[in-house]
A and B are shown apart, each in its own frame.
Chain A
């Protein structure tokens, strides 16, 4: 076991963990933040995407103990004071999901994408969102939702 101290959605947590615990399992099993999803546990699907110090990361592919002192933002921490994050609102309006399982990862990834500032066109968004698989096939609506938010910001 290893001790780790990190901040998740603004709340500081000090934990003693099995060293094999992934960041994803820390969130889901220890902090009961099940908004972050497990779709493959192999870094292949992006459903587990969270923001670590503002950067998007596949939380299944990394151990929790590597993030001592880090600031983690999950889907549960995106909405400020009860108001939906603009991406969350745009995902609803554009029907950018169906089953909803990849959705938290898509939204966290989109938030990271916008912060990176690299995407200028729809083609850029498609390329830079390709680490987040949506098996329901909502891609065109995901791109529309992200464009809507980028257009405002």
Chain B
């Protein structure tokens, strides 16, 4: 039987998705369901002085209006509201008290017999406020910004800037060639296609089954237990399908709190679906201002790197990720200094959004490297190769693997980089200005502890269970591939259960760690199944595997087979039948190997071509080549889709995406999917994905993960191509045509 790992197997959930039978959080129907509609604040900061639900309550079909004054009890301490990935601070508590901390904050829930009635009645709730002065502009908030707090544990240390190396100020001052630039990335919103929704099924004994749009069912379960003082066995959270999330589903969001409040108040099942504008009251990619200074010698090697960032968080929590230190992984430089400050604004807490920190940091760094190449009169790719670092300089250690040189080589060749005329405005296509730009990508390769249960039946079918999520990444499919190979069974005989908090423990799905975590978890549990089968086989008289140790046999083609002599085997069915066993169940926890002596990273090289209409300034990204080194690729079809989608995100980041706030009232002006621009089909042209071979022994299957790496560097490659096409350097995203002024 040929292995399934590494093939282009189509998604196992494809049939459900193309026929409309895949059910998402708002699609579980049951008798007596009530509908909740959310009322949100219209001021950015202050207090509710009076809230009058009576006009809403007079509408026929309205069941109740919940506010901070009449809601069911909730926990009164911060710890209860801390979820698995909560940053330091005091988490937001929906409908807790009269304080308003951001515009669009939920302040009431109208519950009615139908969604139409609830929505209409929500428009009738009258609110009087007292307003306080607010601040929502990062450029105003930067003055009061304070350094990110020092880490108190290894997890927090991942997010704080690396230590200073060498003597950066002196080295910069002495450098023959210097570049300094300030780069800006605006607030961006995730905008998954599925509206945030929770359907809470209220059972007669008060137990809850909650269908929520989340990337972590157990995270939501633990959170609800904390907030509502419930026992884990009384709250089951499910999300078999998630209509995109991109980070906004990592932390429990207010739709699920409101739906549970409604269900507990009414003692009946309640569904809450946020509107698209209300989803702009959830988390977002923080706006950031980054300043980079580079010092180089005339030969094109780096003497000094200074990278400062200021990023946005709320007034009540300190969200940040390691923004500034990525150059330490990429470019050899003896002197470096990093600083990161937080601007606290009257907005919700920022949060992870597809490739938090690297996507934004590498826009700044890779734009700056391009500017340095111009100053040095060097090819930008040549500069990167001359500065190539074989070590993680932030922690002075080697990489577990780093095939970035090969990414550069294969990407440049596929793109035709040699055809680039270094002179800006020198290349044309049918009258349009043509630009070639390139950039580098880097992301962490994580693995997290996870537990997987496998139930093998005597008929050769296996069920794999883990409380992970598939947010469109292809988790269902790669789990089935790995299970088929490690259990030696046909792919069709594998069934996958996930997205259910009652299944074995899983972390939230994010950070690109799930593939490595859950797939190695399956391999661990499959080994336990093999061991148990060997024990059974050796109870058979004259077993051809007698006296063999577990490490001497493998599961293949429905049999236990000796690794040294393939003719010696026992079929799974025979072993189980002989011992009168009809099912074998194993549940094992897999912990990642502790390996601090090496850095674990995925890398990429991105090459972009833009065509720009000189009269109108319209930019089209006509070609992108993304060459990725990310360890073993489990499924070439779904992996390629991950990178294609990330490149689309990078195009959006470069040219379109920006959340606009009217700072006078502290309110988002484009809180919808027509005025917040995301790429549509006509914006996307030729994208080619290359996976560079890369062996890595950080985990048994050699997996690094792919969810984030594809977006990193794309915005910079496009910005660099825009410079090459036009001679204009745009350092603040998105690059809209008004900024080109050709």
Contact B648 A137 (CB under 8 A): yes
Give every chain B residue within 8 A of A97 (Cβ-Cβ): 14, 17-18, 472
Mostly, the A contact residues are loop
Q: A40-B276, A132-B681 are in contact. Are A92 and B472 (CB under 8 A)?
A: no
Q: Which residues of B293-320 are within 8 A (CB) of A?
A: none
Does B241 reach chain A (CB closer than 8 Å)?
yes
Give every chain B residue within 8 A of A25 (Cβ-Cβ): 115-116
Q: A129-B681, A137-B645 are in contact. Are A99 and B193 (CB under 8 A)?
A: yes
Number of A-B contacts defined by CB within 8 Å = 180
How far apart are B708's CB and chain A's nearest CB, in angstroms?
14
Does B285 reach chain A (CB closer than 8 Å)?
no
Contact A93 B21 (CB under 8 A): no
How far apart are A126's CB and chain B's nearest CB, in angstroms?
5
Closest 6 CB pairs of A and B: A35-B20, A137-B648, A101-B243, A99-B472, A100-B17, A137-B645
Q: A39-B194, A40-B276, A95-B11 are in contact. Are A136 and B18 (CB under 8 A)?
A: no
Contact B22 A100 (CB under 8 A): yes
Contact A95 B242 (CB under 8 A): no
Q: Which residues of B120-173 are within 8 A (CB) of A?
A: 120
How far apart are A29's CB and chain B's nearest CB, in angstroms?
7
Cβ-neighbour of B684 out of A21, A100, A103, A126 (below 8 A):
A126
Which of B229-237, B357-365, B575-583, B636-644 is the interface stretch? B636-644
Does A20 reach chain B (CB closer than 8 Å)?
yes
Mostly, the B contact residues are loop
> 17 A–B contact pairs at CB < 8 A?
A29-B29, A32-B29, A34-B29, A39-B276, A41-B276, A44-B276, A76-B20, A92-B15, A99-B192, A100-B16, A101-B244, A107-B18, A126-B682, A127-B682, A130-B680, A137-B648, A138-B644
Cβ-neighbour of B19 out of A35, A131, A138 (below 8 A):
A35
Does B482 reach chain A (CB closer than 8 Å)?
no
Contact B647 A44 (CB under 8 A): no
Give every chain A residue within 8 A of B13 (Cβ-Cβ): 100
Contact B18 A91 (CB under 8 A): yes
How far is A18 from B114 in the complex, measured between Cα atoms in Å?
9
How far is A121 from B193 in the complex, measured between Cα atoms in Å?
27
Contact A136 B672 (CB under 8 A): no
Does A28 reach chain B (CB closer than 8 Å)?
yes
Q: Mark B185-211, 1 if CB is under 8 A from A, else 0.
A: 000000111110000000000000000
Does A2 reach chain B (CB closer than 8 Å)?
no
Give every chain B residue within 8 A of A132 (Cβ-Cβ): 680-681
Contact B644 A88 (CB under 8 A): no
Give every chain B residue within 8 A of A41 (Cβ-Cβ): 195, 275-276
Does B606 reach chain A (CB closer than 8 Å)?
no
Contact A76 B241 (CB under 8 A): no
Cβ-neighbour of A88 out of B10, B19, B678 (below 8 A):
B19
Contacts beyond the supplied A102-B193, A125-B681, A136-B641: 5 A-B pairs with Cβ under 8 Å? A44-B674, A88-B18, A99-B193, A126-B682, A133-B678
How far is A91 from B646 in the complex, measured between Cα atoms in Å?
19
Does A74 reach chain B (CB closer than 8 Å)?
yes
Q: Which of B17, B193, B245, B646 has the most CB of A within 10 A?
A: B193
Q: Mark B664-687, 1 if CB is under 8 A from A, else 0.
A: 000000001110001111101111
Q: How many residues of A contact B (CB 8 A)?
A: 58
Contact B275 A137 (CB under 8 A): no
Contact A75 B20 (CB under 8 A): yes
Q: Which of B191, B195, B649 has the most CB of A within 10 A?
A: B195
Cβ-neighbour of B20 out of A20, A34, A137 (below 8 A):
A34
Give every chain B residue within 8 A of A104 (Cβ-Cβ): 18, 20
Contact B10 A135 (CB under 8 A): no
Does B570 reach chain A (CB closer than 8 Å)?
no
Give every chain A residue within 8 A of B672 (Cβ-Cβ): 40, 42, 44
Contact B26 A140 (CB under 8 A): no
Does A8 reach chain B (CB closer than 8 Å)?
no
Contact B674 A139 (CB under 8 A): no
How far apart are B381's CB and chain A's nearest CB, in angstroms?
25
Give every chain A residue within 8 A of B641 (Cβ-Cβ): 95, 98, 136, 138, 141
How far apart are B243's CB and chain A's nearest CB, in angstroms?
3
Give every chain B residue within 8 A of A101 (Cβ-Cβ): 24, 192-194, 243-244
Give every chain B residue within 8 A of A95 (Cβ-Cβ): 10-11, 637-638, 640-641
Does A57 reach chain B (CB closer than 8 Å)?
no
